[in-house]
Amino acid sequence: MSRDKITIRRPDDWHVHLRDGTLMSAVLPYTARVFARAIVMPNLSPPVATPALARAYRARILAALPAGTDFTPLMTAYLTDATAPDEIARGFADGSWVAAKLYPANVTTNATHGVTDVRKIDRVLSRMAEIGMPLLIHGEVADPAVDIFDREAVFLERELAPLMARLPALRIVLEHVTTRQAVEFVKDAGVNLAATITAHHLTINRNALFQDGLRPHMYCRPVAKREEDRLALRRAAISGNAKFFLGTDSAPHPVKDKECDCGCAGIFSATNALEIYATVFEEENALDKLEHFASLSGPRFYRMPVNSGTITLTRGEQFVPQEVATVRPFLAGERLPWRIA
């Protein structure tokens, strides 16, 4: 069934990098005009590792919002080997943050202060399980001996399954899943495990990194996988299964930091993320499931109310901008069949 218009409850982005300073001011309006709330990643330099740093970062985000924007940043704690259980609990209780992010040390951008061994922070995680605070995981092993395309699947077996066995009450979001194995793992697990899926991992497979040459703007972590993985992600996203919800992982880097000898990981999709998701759902004949994925399942996992407003997408040609403040958006210059009314 083809349709020209779809109205859904206002969505949230359950995983975004807003950065800081002038770059934040340039990218934030794209997220805030569409999404009512967003889980803001803490991988600044230095990392957002204390409640005071989280509150100060939130204040800078609110100050950078265009006038009249209705947007709530949901802050997260950056876990390190030195994180204290009391501080995590205190920041959760006083509203400084709503979740904590686990980066295995050195796994990606600004992950140098990440956790060197998950077992080292078991006391923190066990406190989080007690107080119902979600743990957000970048699910890749950092082990250079593991093939980069296998690092998510290996993480599931080596780290996530044992963690869930040690702390079955811990509520976990496996962020930006990229593999069929991760989809199956999340589906088969209990209600305490959910996952976010990005617009880019629903759109590209790893061929995109090498199409007619090396494509740094298609590089992110976890790196895109095989076509069979992309199709598994699509099936999960449109399934209506509340364990899978929207998280763009929009991660802007200036072009000069992408197009160089050691280009940064990160795909900036905030300019048109919802339209890209809508395009994917339409291609799958599942536009009726977009609202579940974008607006209903996330709040359910995070135990927050769904948003009261709505947003309407209409069919209508639109071109992704070529550049935003020296950052190249995902699908720059390409035509999208949906636009936000």
Side chain identity at 328, as an amino acid letter? Answer: R
- How many residues touch ligand DOR under the rule CB under 6 A: the total is 10
- Compose the 291-330 pattern: x for residues touching ligand DOR by CB under 6 A, - for all others: ----------------------------------------
Helix H or strand E segment including 319? strand 310-319
Q: Please identify which residue in 251, 274, 278, 294 interacts with ligand DOR, judged by CB under 6 A.
A: 251
Residue pair 312/329 in contact by the 8 Å Cβ criterion: no
The reply on whether position 178 binds ligand DOR by CB under 6 A is no
Nearer to ligand DOR, 209 or 340 (CB): 209
- Compose the 221-260 pattern: x for residues touching Zn ion by CB under 5 A, - for all others: ----------------------------x-----------
Q: Please identify which residue in 9, 15, 17, 171 interacts with ligand DOR, judged by CB under 6 A.
A: 17
The reply on whether position 73 binds ligand DOR by CB under 6 A is no
Indicate if 249 belongs to the active site: yes
- Compose the 123-162 pattern: x for residues touching ligand DOR by CB under 6 A, - for all others: ---------------x------------------------
- Least separation in angstroms between residue 107's CB and ligand DOR is 7
Nearest Cα to Cα of residue 149 among 181, 175, 194, 183: 181
Q: Please identify which residue in 171, 221, 234, 289 interacts with ligand DOR, judged by CB under 6 A.
A: 221
Q: What is the dihedral of CA 235, 330, 69, 196, to 10 degrees?
A: 30
Angular region, 316: left φ>0, alpha ψ -120 to 50, beta rest: left
Side chain identity at 278, as an amino acid letter? Answer: A
Which residues are bridge partners to 197 per DSSP? 246
CA dist., res. 91 & res. 183, Å (int): 31
Q: Which does 225 bind (CB under 5 to 8 A by kind): ligand DOR, Zn ion, none?
A: none
- Touching Zn ion, residues 274-293 (CB under 5 A): none
Nearer to ligand DOR, 109 or 248 (CB): 109
- Active-site option among 94, 249, 257, 288: 249
> How far is CA 188 from each of CA 161, 181, 325, rounded to the nearest angstrom?
11, 11, 42
Instruction: For residue 142, give every residue at least 6 positions away whose Cβ sits within 8 Å of its Cβ, in sequence order, or none.
Output: 104, 105, 106, 107, 111, 114, 151
CA dist., res. 45 & res. 114, Å (int): 12
Q: Which does 108 bind (CB under 5 to 8 A by kind): ligand DOR, Zn ion, none?
A: ligand DOR
Helices (H), 65-175: 85-93, 122-131, 151-155, 161-166
Q: Which does 109 bind (CB under 5 to 8 A by kind): ligand DOR, Zn ion, none?
A: ligand DOR
First to last CA, the chain: 21
- Least separation in angstroms between residue 265's CB and ligand DOR is 4
Q: Which does 332 bind (CB under 5 to 8 A by kind): Zn ion, ligand DOR, none?
A: none
CA dist., res. 123 & res. 149, Å (int): 31
- Least separation in angstroms between residue 222's CB and ligand DOR is 7
Q: What is the dihedral of CA 286, 250, 13, 150, to 10 degrees?
A: 70
3-state secondary structure of 150: helix
Nearer to ligand DOR, 249 or 282 (CB): 249
- Least separation in angstroms between residue 169's CB and ligand DOR is 26
The reply on whether position 108 binds ligand DOR by CB under 6 A is yes
Q: Which residues bind ligand DOR (CB under 6 A)?
A: 17, 43, 108-109, 138, 220-221, 251, 265-266
Q: Which residues bind Zn ion (CB under 5 A)?
A: 249
Residue positions annotated with a catalytic role: 249
